[in-house]
DNA sequence: CGGAATCTTGAGGCCCGTCAATAACGGTGG
DNA sequence: CCACCGTTATTGACGGGCCTCAAGATTCCG
C-alpha cells in the first residue's frame, strides 16, 4: 500500500471530533492514549450487522455510509459519516451487536475507543458526557426529520431538499453530487431510476441545470423549496 | 379541577424514570427539589412547534404522542411517551425552539426540570450523564429502525409488526389497540383508511381475529412476522 | 337519546417500483 | 491515446400499492 499522503495520528482524532473539542489539554492527552487507529480502503466495511459492537468509531479522515438491510434485502441509508463524525451505537449499550453496516466511500482513516475506556472516560470527564448528550440529541433531531420527510413528502420534494442541502455551504454555482445515484436513492428511500427521472424532470421545469450526470446547478431555489 | 386519584409527587418522578434509577438516595433527593409537576387533561398539549424549548419533560403517569407537522400539513408520529419516558430534545440544546408537538392521549401527570438545572446535574452527577447517553442511544436505535421500516416494508408488514409489538408483553389473548386508527396511521406513515383495509385483510387471511373495531386476537404469529 | 367523531367500504387514479434494454462513464492495460 | 469491460446511469413500458375523495355505518359520550 502507498504511504499515506497525510499521517493521521491519535492526536488528530481527538482534535477533530466535536465531542472532545472543548476539553482541557490534559484530558485530550489522556484520550489520545486510549485511541487506536486504522486505515481502510474505499469500499471496505468498518463493521457489519451481527458484529460484536464494542467500540466507538470516529472518522478521522474520509467518508463512510451507515445503512441497514431490511428483511427483504433493501438497503436504507441512515447517515453519511464525514470527517469528525462518529458512530455511537457501539459504545453505548453493553453486549449488543451492530444492527447496521458501515462501508467506506473513499480511503478513510478511523479511530476507535473501546467501550469500557469510553464509559470510564464519561464517568471521569463530565464535560465529555455532556458533549456526548448534545451530539446524540442533534442526531435524534436529524433522524426525526428524516423519518418525517420520508413518509410525508414526495420523492421530488425530498430530492429537491437534498440538492439544496448538498449545494448549501459551497458557494460554487455548479456542484457535484458526492454520492452515487444508488446511494442517494437509499438515502431518500427510493430507487436510482426514480432519482434519475426526477432530476431530468426538475431540469425540464427549469429549477436546476444538468451539467453532467453528477454535476448540477441550482437555478430556482425558491421553487425547489416549495415543491409538494 | 377534581382531586387526582393518585398523588404524583416529585419523588414519584424521580423513582419512575430510568435515567435516575440507579442513583444514590442523596442524588435522588437533590433532583426531587429541582422538579416541578403539572397535570394535563386528555388532549392538551405539553408543547407545540415554535414554543421555546427550555426544560426536560418526564411523563410521571399517563401517555402522550409526539409528532411533527410537515409542510403540506401531514402529521408524522415520532413516538408515544409512556409512563417513565421523557422528551429529551428540550433539555439538550440552548436557545432552540421545539420543532414537534406533544399532545396527551389521556389525563397525564408530567414533571419538568429546567435546562440549566439539568445541565448542572449532568456536570455534577456523571452517572446520570451516562444514563442519559444510554437512553438517547436506545432512542437513536429505535428511530433508525422506524426509518428503515417505513421506507422498505409494505404497510401490511409494518402493521403486522405493530400488532405484534403492541400485543407482546400482555399475556392476554385479546388485546385492545391503545391508539385511534388515525394515530396508528401517522405512526406507520399511512392513512386511517389503509389501516382499516389492512386489518380486515389480515383477518380474512386468518392471521388475526377481529373482536370489535379496536380489539383483536393474534392467531398466527409466524405468518405475521413473515409478511413482506 | 342525539350529535360528533371515528371507522368502514367503494371507486378511481397516480406515484413510483420493477423489469429490461440501451447508453454513458471510468478505470485499466496495451 | 485508444480499445475494452465492468459499473453506473438513463429511458421506456407496465403494473400495483396506496392515497384521495366520498358516502354510509358505527361508536363514543354527554
The per-residue pLDDT for A14 is 87
B46 and B144 housed in the same domain: yes
Tell me, yes or no, whether A127 lies in a domain: yes
A225 grid coordinates: 423549496
The answer on pLDDT for B10 being more than 70 is no
The answer on pLDDT for A91 being more than 90 is no
Residue B67 · residue B186 · CB < 8 Å? yes
Of A100, A124, A147, nearest to B78 by CB-CB distance is: A147
B85 and B110 housed in the same domain: yes
Identify the burial level of B185 via C-beta atoms within 10 angstroms of its C-beta, where 0-12 means exposed, 13-18 middle and 19 or more buried.
Answer: buried
Q: Which of B96, B122, B151 is the last residue of a domain?
A: B151
Q: Provide the percentage of residues in chain B whose pLDDT is more than 90.
A: 70
B159 and B193 housed in the same domain: yes
Tell me, yes or no, whether B73 lies in a domain: yes
CATH code of the domain containing B162: 1.10.10.10
B33 and B145 housed in the same domain: yes
Q: pLDDT confidence of B3, banded at 50, 70, 90?
A: very low
B165 and B207 housed in the same domain: yes
Tell me, yes or no, whether A15 lies in a domain: yes
B24 and B80 housed in the same domain: yes
How many domains does chain B fold into?
2
Tell me, yes or no, whether B1 lies in a domain: no
A-chain residues near B224 (CB < 8 A): none
B73 and B183 housed in the same domain: no
B180 and B212 housed in the same domain: yes
Chain B: give the shortest CA distance to residue A216, in Å. 25
Tell me, yes or no, whether B38 lies in a domain: yes
Of B68, B129, B153, nearest to A130 by CB-CB distance is: B129
Segment B146-150 long-range contacts (CB within 8 Å, at least 24 positions apart): B146/A147, B147/A76, B147/A78, B147/A143, B147/A146, B147/A147, B147/A150, B148/A68, B148/A70, B148/A76, B148/A78, B149/A70, B150/A147, B150/A150, B150/A151, B150/A189, B150/B188, B150/B189
The per-residue pLDDT for B74 is 92
Q: A4-18, B19-33, B132-146: lowest mean pLDDT where? A: A4-18
- Beta carbons of B92 and A153 less than 8 Å apart: no
Q: Which of B93, B124, B151 is the last residue of a domain?
A: B151
pLDDT digits (tens, 9 = 90+) for A165-182: 999 877 678 899 999 999
CA B104-B102-B197 angle, 5° bins: 75
pLDDT digits (tens, 9 = 90+) for A19-43: 898 899 999 999 999 999 899 988 9
Average pLDDT over chain A reads 89
B142 and B163 housed in the same domain: no
The per-residue pLDDT for A92 is 82
Chain B: give the shortest CA distance to residue A82, in Å. 18
> The domain containing residue A114 runs over which residues?
10-148
Q: Provide the percentage of residues in chain A whose pLDDT is more than 70.
A: 95
The per-residue pLDDT for A4 is 41
Q: Is B126 on the interface with A (CB under 8 A)?
A: yes
B163 and B63 housed in the same domain: no
Q: Which of B99, B132, B151 is the last residue of a domain?
A: B151
CATH code of the domain containing B126: 2.60.120.10
Q: Is the CB of B178 under 7 A from strand C?
A: no
A191 closest-nt by C1' vs CA: C17
Chain B: give the shortest CA distance to residue A210, in Å. 27
pLDDT digits (tens, 9 = 90+) for B18-76: 889 889 999 999 999 999 989 999 999 999 999 988 899 999 889 999 999 998 889 99
B87 and B136 housed in the same domain: yes
A140 and A209 housed in the same domain: no
The answer on pLDDT for A8 being more than 70 is no
Tell me, yes or no, whether A24 lies in a domain: yes
B-chain residues near A78 (CB < 8 A): 144, 147-148
Quote the strand ranges of chain A, DSSP E.
Answer: 36-40, 45-47, 55-61, 63-69, 75-82, 86-87, 101-104, 108-114, 174-176, 208-212, 215-218
Tell me, yes or no, whether A202 lies in a domain: yes
Amino acid at each position: 500500500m502507498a504511504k499515506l499522503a497525510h499521517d493521521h495520528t491519535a492526536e488528530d482524532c481527538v482534535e477533530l471530533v466535536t465531542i472532545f473539542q472543548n476539553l482541557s489539554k490534559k484530558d485530550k492527552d489522556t484520550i489520545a492514549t486510549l485511541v487506536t487507529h486504522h486505515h481502510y480502503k474505499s469500499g471496505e466495511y468498518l463493521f457489519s450487522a451481527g458484529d460484536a459492537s464494542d467500540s466507538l468509531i470516529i472518522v478521522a479522515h474520509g467518508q463512510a455510509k451507515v445503512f441497514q438491510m431490511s428483511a427483504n434485502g433493501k438497503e436504507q441509508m441512515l447517515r453519511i459519516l464525514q470527517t469528525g463524525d462518529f458512530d455511537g451505537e457501539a459504545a453505548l449499550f453493553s453486549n449488543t451487536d451492530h444492527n447496521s453496516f458501515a462501508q467506506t466511500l473513499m480511503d478513510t482513516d478511523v479511530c476507535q475507543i473501546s467501550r469500557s475506556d469510553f464509559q470510564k472516560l464519561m464517568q471521569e470527564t463530565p464535560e465529555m458526557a455532556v458533549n456526548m448528550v448534545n451530539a446524540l440529541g442533534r442526531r435524534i433531531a436529524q433522524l426525526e426529520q428524516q423519518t418525517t420527510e420520508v413518509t410525508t413528502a414526495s420523492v421530488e420534494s425530498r430530492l429537491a431538499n437534498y440538492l439544496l442541502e448538498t449545494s448549501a455551504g459551497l458557494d460554487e454555482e455548479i456542484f457535484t453530487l458526492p454520492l452515487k445515484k444508488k446511494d442517494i436513492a437509499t438515502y431518500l428511500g427510493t430507487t436510482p431510476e426514480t432519482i434519475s427521472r426526477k432530476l431530468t424532470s426538475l431540469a425540464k421545469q427549469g429549477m436546476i441545470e444538468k451539467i453532467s450526470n453528477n454535476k448540477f446547478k441550482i437555478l430556482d431555489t425558491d421553487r425547489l423549496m416549495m415543491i409538494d
